[in-house]
Amino acid sequence: MSENLAKIKAPSESLFSKKNRKLLIEPLTDNNPVTVQVLGICSSLAITVKMDIALVMGLSVIFVTAMGNYVISALRNIMPPRIRIIVQLVVAAALVIIVNEILKAYLPDISEQLSVFVGLIITNCIIMGRFEAYAMANKPWPSFLDGIGNGAGYAILLLIVAFVRELLGSGSLFGVKILGSAVPGEETGSVSYTHLTLP
């Protein structure tokens, strides 16, 4: 009889099976949350002025999405359906508070520049969307990978936009000057506005 039970028992899926790897890779290319699903547009435009800010925001979203997906998935079978949105918001809020406190403690300058946008991670469409669409219907480990993949897809787009904006806007990357000033006298602080007048 034990032999029959062994035959019936399905083989366990490896942690990084082809299906699980797809959860990590697909949001980076074919199903990017910003470019394909058109989610998280507001923060993508608002905090991509500098690379360092975009990087910290991207890492914060990866953490909240991955850990939030894991927690929601673990609670999905005991969570009453009527209060699932409230539970999802509480989980997201708790994780965002952790992120916010860490930023205030170790990166106060960036925390100040991000301002309210860290708090707005709670209502980010990507996070709430993954909680509802994936974590509520899947096991914790695949949900965790899905969170990392979608968070990374968002973070990569932030970094691409921030790269272009910081390089062309201030001629620097991560605060390091790369390009010379386009406005004569800007380096010395005495800008001549005669070069900016219209004919």
6-63 confidence digits (pLDDT tens): 445 545 667 667 777 777 777 777 767 766 666 666 767 777 778 888 899 999 999 9
SS3 track for 118-171: HHHHHHCHHHHHHHHHCHHHCCHHHHHHHHHHHHHHHHHHHHHHHHHHHHHHHC
pLDDT at 195 over 70: no
Which pLDDT tens digit goes with each residue over 127-184?
Answer: 888 899 889 999 999 999 999 999 998 898 889 888 888 888 888 788 778 876 554 5
pLDDT (mean) for 75-93? 93
pLDDT in the model for residue 179: 76
Q: Is the pLDDT of residue 196 over 70?
A: no
- Is the Cβ–Cβ distance between 95 and 65 less than 8 Å? no
